[in-house]
Structure 1
Amino acid sequence: MIRRLYDWTLSLANSPYALWALACVAFIESSFFPIPPDLLMIPMIIATPRRAFLIAGVATVASVIGGMFGYAIGMFAFESIGQPILASLGKGHAMDEFSTQFNDYGFWAVLIAGLTPFPYKVITIMSGWTAMPLGTFIVTSIIARALRFFIIAALLWKFGAPIRDFIEKRLGLMFILFCVVLVGGFFLVKFL
């Protein structure tokens, strides 16, 4: 089933409605769809490099709006379903402790999930579930998603098809290394 979704998503890149399809995929990927918008962006940018930054902008805006939908899912579905289940199991206090810890580092969780291959939808839902401040969530999502999509767009715009294999195979690893260095740098500054 995942393979069919993958193939269907790639076929949208050749559609005359490709930008709309990208917006839809970026929106739903932020809350429940398993295929990332990058897979649609890459062939679209290779086909029309002059539109690379427009494509990245559409993906960013739609992804952040979809992230807010994921946030709403976490906020409202947890209240009606998750919390009563935890309370019946005697774990209601565990949720409060987890919420506090998640929100203490929530900026970093959203930033890292927004940049890396880690499923962004998990963090969007958890952010709503833990009642992370909406402003923090939105600003961090904009930064993370814009960095991710505009870096991909810039690489494809500058280097074209030859960079495609690198992006598809190694960009996730590069973003993870970037995040480790970034977080490590902040910890060094804070504790030294």
Structure 2
Amino acid sequence: MLRSLYDWTMALSARKSASVWLAVIAFVESSVFLVPADVLFLPMALARPERAWRYALIATTFSVLGGIAGWWIGYFAFDAIAVPILEFWGKLDTFNELKSGITYETILLMLVTSGFAHLPPIKVVTILSGAVHVNIWLFIAAAVVTRGARFFLLAWLLRRHGESIRHFIEKRLGKLALIGAVVLIAVYCAYKMLMS
């Protein structure tokens, strides 16, 4: 099922309505959808590099709006909407583990790592942020910075290096972002140990 969703999302990049689909995918990725908007963003930016910044703005804006929707689901409709969504994607156990040991500082850390490196999945963190009542303005600021950093970095790389960087982005950028997220988590843990 995941592969067919991925293929379907990739096929959208060739349509005239690709910008609209990018907005839709970026929105739903942050609250209910499994396939990241990058899958649509990358081929679009490669096909029309002069529009890469525009596509990055669309992806960032609608990803943040989708994150707000996820926050709203977690805050106002956790049992009615969030639980079935998380069960459907097999993420309810992950969610419950995260929620049981969550502090305000760790939720901010997760907003950074999920927004930039999808660790943990962004939809889990947006719903969790609402469920634990993270301040909405702080949440929005973190989402704008992290999602914007991801999409605008991709736009810059694609405009600067074109098709030659695509393989690197698809195969290695995720791993590098993951390493960066792990380093950030390690720094945070070291800081907490030093302060206690």
Q: Is residue 25 from structure 1 mapped to residue 25 from structure 2 by the alignment? A: yes
Q: Find the counterpart in structure 1 of residue 106 from structure 2.
A: 105
The answer to whether the 8 Å contact 1:99/1:130 transfers is no
| Rounded Cα–Cα distance in structure 1 between residues aligned with 2:4 and 2:102 | 38
Q: Distance in 2 between matches of 1:120 and 1:82?
A: 13
Of 35-44 and 69-78, deviating more is: 69-78
Among 143, 146, 151, the alignment partner of 1:144 is 146
Tell me if the contact between 1:72 and 1:128 (Cα under 8 Å) persists in the aligned partners.
yes
Equivalent residue number for residue 115 of structure 1 = 116
Distance 1:46 1:69, change over 3 A: same
Q: RMSD across aligned C-alpha pairs, in angstroms?
A: 2.3
Shift of residue 8, structure 1, vs aligned partner: 1.4
Shift of 1:189: 6.6
- For residues 170 and 186 of structure 2, the distance between their equivalents in structure 1, rounded to whole angstroms, comes to 26
TM alignment of 1:28-107, pairs within 5 A: 28-78=28-78, 98=99, 101-107=102-108
How much has 1:99 moved relative to structure 2?
6.9
Percent identical residues: 40
Alignment check: 8 A CA contact 1:110 1:140 kept: yes
Does the 8 A contact of 1:26 with 1:36 survive in 2? Answer: yes
State the shift of 1:175 in Å: 1.1
Please give the alpha-carbon distance, in whole angstroms, between the structure 2 residues aligned to 1:11 and 1:41.
12
Q: TM-score, normalized by length of structure 2?
A: 0.82
Distance 2:71 2:52 in 1: 28
> For 1:105, what is the secondary structure of its paired residue?
helix
Residues 135 and 99 of structure 1: CA distance in aligned 2, closer, same or farther (over 3 Å)? farther
Amino acid paired to 1:154: W
Q: Which residue does 1:155 correspond to in 2?
A: 157
**Cα shift at 1:76:** 1.7
2:182 to 180, 183, 190: 180
Structure 2 gaps of 5+ residues are: 84-95
Pair 80,160 (structure 1): closer, same or farther in 2 beyond 3 Å: closer
Match of 2:90 in 1: none
Q: What's the counterpart of residue 86 of structure 1?
A: none
TM-score by length of 1: 0.84
Deviation at 1:172, TM superposition (A): 1.3
AA partner of residue 18 (structure 2) = A
Q: Residue 102 of structure 1: CA displacement?
A: 3.1
Conservation of the 8 A alpha-carbon contact between 2:71 and 2:127: yes
Q: Which runs of 4+ in 1 moved over 4 A?
A: 79-83, 183-190
Instruction: Quote the offset at 1:174 in angstroms.
Output: 0.9
Q: Which amino acid aligns with 1:101?
A: I
User: 2: distance between equivalents of 1:145 and 1:69?
Assistant: 15
Alpha carbons 1:27, 1:67 under 8 Å: kept: yes
